[in-house]
Structure 1
């Protein structure tokens, strides 16, 4: 056997080979009669009768953290596409992509002279209606004076009752005319307010603090009202000082995710820095298309290190247990529905039934069964050792010395061949 190749074999593989040699010793005896080992007193035993060296370890009590590792998206906390409310030509643009703005800042001005003309027309109509109210009020006042005079004359029988009735009718008509004129003033004021509102729409302002992430039109361009089907917004504004982390939680893990669940965030551009936050809100219901639940966490980004749209890897802390009983996952034996581990008791391999909780492939949580804290678990190729077989427990550190002996034994076997 080539010594150079042997030296490259990992310690774990060598220990596994150690166990295999013990198991296949019967096959070796078929080739050379019966391979035996002589004791100092001259007696001999077959290899099959010898205890199999096995690496053992004890269960560990430690904190168990079950994490969900999943990709996530970093989005602006708020994002708005800004459209024109009215059609017109762009007269002035005050910002561009990357511009940071404050709420209320003027971003763009649209020229709409026809609206200004309509406003002046409505204001003139309002003035006319106000004058009409004054005229109707004066007429009503005159009719009131007239009726008072005719009522006195009627008492003196200086006029006929018919004339008095006609005067009363004229007074009622004057009162109605005043109300009609006042209503027309209200309508005129509403029209003026409506046109003033439309005129305000010619000025596009920022609805919140943020940064301009898109600009789609230039000076002089004609823009249509969003209500008329304009497909492109004037600007896209994003709130970048606060970031919304969006995670899609798989259905199987949904019961373990709630508001307050801790999250660790790894963003490539942060050069190894880990951001820590907690779930701020969840959708509660699952998306029927993906069978995932949306969860969000808020991140402060006043430093500006994170840009909306970045990709992140997150670790969602699904469960954290103190003093959990853990064993190496490789020690677990599965036989149908039976789950067990082999333990060394009095140098004999004993099958010990266990119940497994969380298993990340390296460490497995023991939640039930017959395993004790002080048991010595067989971790090296336990599937090749039968329950009841004699074993020779060794620690991981001791296994390194035995590896050399096994290699020499294998080399001597090759030389004999």
Structure 2
């Protein structure tokens, strides 16, 4: 009996010792788990600055003037004076068309006009004689004078109508001569002698000729909404093209659309550049470098400090030893920093490397 009692007491002491060990291990584990709640995060103090940020965008070179020339009336190509690459001046005859039907109609209308003019001349001469005779009282009856006056006015109207028809056909005949609308270069030709051409309208018809003015080019860009406030007319944009990577070109902003594109949410701007030696060509892709200088200083923070999550864009500020999420809006970009706008103050401390996993209110060691 005593032996059983000793064994039972020994087991009790063993279990008690095990429980104490388990409690100690749990306490140590609890301490270890509690330790991360007081993490030592690296913070950075923020201050306003106004660096010059360079924005890189892809642009496109376009001709200052470009037009596609079509035939105004159904006709045949009678003469071609230019070809691809020809330099032309404003008003120069590029192509002559032939429309026999218009020539025949013009001859008919011209003969009718001549006949009406002859009738009017005779009527007017008769009217003038009767008007002179009417100076003698009672020589011409009033009814006869009214009739000749009405005939004169009617014949005059007939002449005006015939002349209008003639001028209309004469204008159509002038359309048979295709002239250069401005000085430039012919970049495309799609017809040969004898080809039958007509007015555009089918959509798929190619133009007779394409003329471009390449002495001045337009650099077209679509600038994202966030960067539009920093660009003004007269600013200089530098760019390169792939075919001449060793050359750096400069163009000045001349036009801004003043509105955003619905699809890209960007503003279209154009910069002009003189191209007298014609090194550059329309439709070249330009790699642009645009300087963005703000009118006042703003906050630039490390890129790793900005969180772009489902909850929005924010940085984590340390206030009284705990974290606080501060919503911000991103602006210009530097290689390692980003401009932010929000309820931030000079000298605030934010986490240098923020993460969504850091909950708001987390204690932070100094």
Fold agreement, TM-score > 0.5: yes
Report the secondary structure of 1:369's partner residue. coil
1:77 to 64, 83, 98: 64
Deviations 1:248-307 (A, max 9, x none): 112222333332333221211222322122321111111222222211111111110111
Partner of 1:158: none
Q: 1:63 to 1:274 in 2, by over 3 A?
A: farther
1:134 to 121, 127, 131: 121
Partner of 2:8: none
Question: 1:309-320 alignment to 2 at 5 Å?
Answer: 309-319=283-293
2:162 to 172, 182, 188: 188
Deviations 1:17-54 (A, max 9, x none): xxxxxxxxxxxxxxxxxxxxxxxxxxxxxxxxxxxxxx
1:109 lines up with 2:86 in the alignment: no
Q: Write 1 or 2 for the structure with the bigger share of strand.
A: 2
Deviations 1:50-93 (A, max 9, x none): xxxxxxxxx99997221221111111111111011111110011
Report the secondary structure of 2:124's partner residue. helix
TM-score of the pair, normalised by structure 1:
0.62
Point out where structure 1 has 5 or more consecutive residues left out of the alignment: 1-58, 153-163, 342-350, 373-378, 390-417
TM-score of the pair, normalised by structure 2:
0.69
Query: Could you tell me how far apart the structure 2 residues matched to 1:78 and 1:260 are?
Result: 21
Q: 1:262 to 1:142 in 2, by over 3 A?
A: closer
Deviations 1:77-117 (A, max 9, x none): 11111011111110011111111111111111101222222
Q: Which moved more, 1:254-263 or 1:315-324?
A: 315-324
Partner of 1:217: 191
Query: Could you tell me how far apart the structure 1 residues matched to 2:264 and 2:331 are?
Result: 27
Deviations 1:377-400 (A, max 9, x none): xx9x999xx9878xxxxxxxxxxx
Contact 1:64–1:324 (8 Å) recurs in 2: no
Partner of 2:347: 370
Shift of 1:138: 2.8
Contact 1:80–1:237 (8 Å) recurs in 2: yes
CA RMSD, Structure 1 to Structure 2 (Å): 4.1
1:277 lines up with 2:251 in the alignment: yes
Query: Could you tell me how far apart the structure 1 residues matched to 2:300 and 2:164 are?
Result: 76
Q: 1:272 to 1:107 in 2, by over 3 A?
A: same
Query: Could you tell me how far apart the structure 2 residues matched to 1:232 and 1:128 are?
Result: 43
Query: Could you tell me how far apart the structure 2 residues matched to 1:289 and 1:357 are?
Result: 20
Question: 1:201-240 alignment to 2 at 5 Å?
Answer: 201-226=175-200, 231-240=205-214
Query: Could you tell me how far apart the structure 2 residues matched to 1:323 and 1:112 are?
Result: 70
Report the secondary structure of 1:314's partner residue. strand
Question: 1:20-59 alignment to 2 at 5 Å?
Answer: none
1:200 to 164, 171, 174: 174
Shift of 1:139: 2.5
Contact 2:71–2:208 (8 Å) recurs in 1: yes
